[in-house]
Structure 1
Amino acid sequence: MPRRLGIAGGAGFVGINLAQAAVAAGHQVVLLDQADRLGRYAHSGLGPQVTLLATDLAAGQLDAFADLDVIVNLAALAHVDYSLHFGDQVIANNVSVQRTVLDAAARYGTPVLFTSSIEVYGGNDGERFDETAPRLPLSPYAESKILCEDLVDTYRRDRAVRATVVRLTNLYGPWQSPDRIVPRIISQAHSGMKSQVTTGRLRDFLYITDAAAAILGLVEHGGWSGCYNIAAGHGVTLEEVADGIAVRIPTCSYSTVDAVDHDGRGPSLVATADRLRTVLDWRPTVGLDEGLGRTVDWYERNRAWWARFNGLLRADRGGPEFLIDFRLPL
């Protein structure tokens, strides 16, 4: 049944891709965000079934959430590195937005799907995390997600809010800003720059359309309870990711740097989506090789969108200057 879907943080990377999937499935979409900061909405070609409603999500304004059938809360300052530099801001913003969304859900009786992160697990030496694993945050960003998950539990118990929590793995694909590893390497390669890749890390990468399909599947399924990993379930090194890009872009080159302690990340962060498959007929359909190919092609065809981030691409990763939320703050 078609729904009127509100996406908090909807002008972001995941939001634009989720909106495209929702429109294709026949839903109407309202993107709730401060602004179209990176021009994703303006350049996406989304039609009249999608509207962008400018609202300060952290300010407790609830009127924007009226007349929605479902709320998906994607809104967050979401980069681990940004949180290491500006932890207080990340925690305050992400928790404030979550409270606004949950207050709106309680007022209007609207179910919520909250997107947390597998960063809440911290990391280990290689075993895949399931949803029963302890939460051991290594960054303020991960801590903010734990606080938001706990708020969901509180509103479920005390205000009868219907809510589902999903923990997203490392996503990649169209419209991702080039302060993330996949678009950064691609954009630097297209710009004649050498990239830097951290060794000793095992990560789980999922193409964005598969993540959007899982989120939309849970929205359409209903149920409004539980916690689910959305993940590919396969660990790869960051060098493998870089090599997958390099075979497609002849100008791609990179050097490696060793992982350091206390940088907000564990050695291995790979999750299983087995629980999700018990409620949805979902599994990843785009493997890493195909997904990297699609992403390389998209960034080649959309240079005009990311070329304005040239200064960000040239910035050293030792400070905050390479981070989009530092260059274009909320």
Structure 2
Amino acid sequence: MPLTISIIGAAGFVGTNLALAALEAGHQVHLVDVSDRLGRLRSSGLLDRAPHQFVDLARPGARLDHPADVIIHLAALPQVDFSLYEPARVLTNNTAVTAAVLESARTRNVPVLFASSIEVYGGNDGALFTETSPLLPLSPYAASKISCEEYLTSLRHGFGTETTTVRLTNLYGPWQAPDRIVPRVVAQGLSGMKSEAVTGRLRDFLAVEDAVRALLGLVERGLWGETFNLAAGRHTGLEEVTDTIARLTGSGPVVRATTPVKDGRGPSLVASPARLEERLGWRARVPLPDGLRGTVSWYAEHESWWRRFEAQFGADRDGPHFLLDHEYPFWAE
């Protein structure tokens, strides 16, 4: 049955891919974001295919202005790195937007699927995190997600608002800004630049097409009142990912960098998708080598979108200037 889906944070990486997949599946979508500041909605054709509302939901009195069967709330200042430079801004923005979204959902009796992050677990020495693992926020970004999760829980118990939380792993794919590890190294490789990879880090990489398939499956099935890890559950060293991209782009060897003592991340951050597999029948389909190959091909074919961010993916990571949220702040518009 087709749904009318309100996508909050529709101009983001996941939001753009989700909106395209939802339209392909026959759903109607309403796009909500502060703006299309990185040009994803325009470049993907979504501005011509779906109604949109540009509004800063963190501002007092901001409201959603359209009906919906379900809300998928993706909006956030999403970078661990950015939150280390702007901790108060990240916490304030992410909790305020979530409060506004949930107030709209509560008063209109609309269910909400909330995108959290496996960053809430902090990190460990290699064991898979489950949904009942202790939470350990090592960054203000992670703390903001935990705060939002708790607010969802309070509304579910106090007002009967239907909500579900998904904790997203490291996603990659089309339309991801090149201040993240995969698109950054892809853009550097296609530009003939040297790349750097931190050693000693184990992460879990999931193709965004697999992620949006799970998000749509959850709202189509109406699986409310739960928390799910949305992950592949595979330990992968950052060196393996960057070396694969270097081979695909034909760039030179990747420079190895030692792991900083403290930067808001643990050594291993990989979550189990077993609960999602059991409840939804979902499994990751895209093998990492195939997903990286497809991602490199997409970036090679869409240079007109990412080339304007060369100053950011060409900058080193010793300061904030490689971060697009720092260089393209929505609050300065």
TM tier, smaller: over 0.9
Q: Structure 2 unaligned runs (5+)?
A: none
Counterparts of 2:63 and 2:248 in 1: how far apart (Å)? 47
Q: Indicate the SS of the match to 1:194.
A: coil
Which residue of structure 1 lines up, in the alignment, with residue 226 of structure 2?
226
Q: Which residue of 2 aligns with 1:133?
A: 133
> 1:142-221 residue pairs with structure 2 within 5 A?
142-221=142-221
Counterpart secondary structure, 1:239: helix
Of the structure 1 ranges 88-97 and 39-48, higher mean CA displacement relative to structure 2 is found in 39-48
Instruction: Name the amino acid aligned to 1:244.
Output: T
Tell me the distance in 2 between the aligned counterparts of 1:53 and 1:93: 18
- Structure 1 residues not aligned, in runs of 5+: none
Cα deviation, residue 313, structure 1: 1.4
Q: In the alignment, which residue of structure 2 is the partner of 1:25? A: 25
- Secondary structure, aligned partner of 2:279: coil
1:185–1:252 Cα contact (<8 Å) kept: no
Aligned to 2:118: 118
Which residue identity is paired with 1:185? V
Deviations, residues 92-113 of structure 1 (Å, cap 9, x unaligned): 0000000001100111100000
Structure 2 CA distance for partners of 1:252 and 1:55, relative to 1, 3 Å: farther
Offset of residue 221 of structure 1: 0.7
Aligned-pair Cα RMSD in Å:
1.1
Q: Which amino acid counterpart does residue 37 of structure 2 have in structure 1?
A: R
Matches within 5 A, 1:202-281: 202-281=202-281
User: Are the equivalent residues in 1 in contact too, given 2:71–2:113 (CA < 8 A)?
Assistant: yes
Secondary structure of the residue aligned to 1:248 is helix
Structure 1 residues 131 and 40: alpha-carbon distance in aligned structure 2, compared to 1, 3 A threshold: same
Tell which deviates more after alignment, 253-262 or 147-156.
253-262
Q: Which residue identity does 2:291 align to in structure 1?
A: G
CA shift for structure 1 position 65: 4.7
Evaluate the alpha carbon distance shift between residue 106 and residue 179 of structure 1 in structure 2; reply closer, same or farther with a 3 A threshold.
Answer: same
Shift of 1:280: 0.8
Q: How many residues align?
A: 330
Partner Cα distance (1:189, 1:46) in 2: 29
Partner of 1:324: 324
Aligned to 2:104: 104
The one-letter amino acid of 1:238's match is L
Equivalent residue, structure 2, for 1:57: 57
Report if aligned partners of 1:321, 1:327 keep a CA contact under 8 Å in 2: yes
The CA distance in 1 between the partners of 2:212 and 2:60, in whole Å, is 27
Task: Check whether the contact 1:204–1:236 (CA below 8 A) recurs between aligned residues.
Answer: yes
TM-score between the two structures when normalised by the length of structure 1: 0.98
8 Å contact kept, 2:63–2:100: no
**Residues of 2 paired with 1:148 and 1:114: CA distance?**
9
Q: From the superposition, tell whether residues 159 and 294 of structure 1 become closer, same or farther in structure 2 (CA, over 3 Å).
A: same
Q: Distance in 2 between matches of 1:7 and 1:60?
A: 20
Structure 2 match to 1:38? 38
Shift of residue 50, structure 1, vs aligned partner: 1.9
Post-superposition shift, 1:71? 0.4
Q: Secondary structure at the match of 1:64?
A: coil
Question: Which deviations, in whole Å up to 9, do the C-alpha atoms of 1:20-46 show, x marking residues without a partner?
Answer: 111111101111001101000001123
Q: C-alpha deviations, 1:4-60, integer Å up to 9, x for none?
A: 100111110000000111111110111100110100000112375522211112124
> 1:11·1:41 contact (CA, 8 Å) conserved in 2?
yes
Q: Which region of structure 1 is more displaced relative to structure 2, 310-319 or 227-236?
A: 310-319
Shift of 1:218: 0.3
Sequence identity of aligned pairs in percent?
52
Deviations 1:147-185 (A, max 9, x none): 000000111122221100000000000000000000000
**Aligned in 2, Cα 1:281/1:60: closer, same or farther, shift over 3 Å?**
farther
Q: Which amino acid aligns with 1:87?
A: P
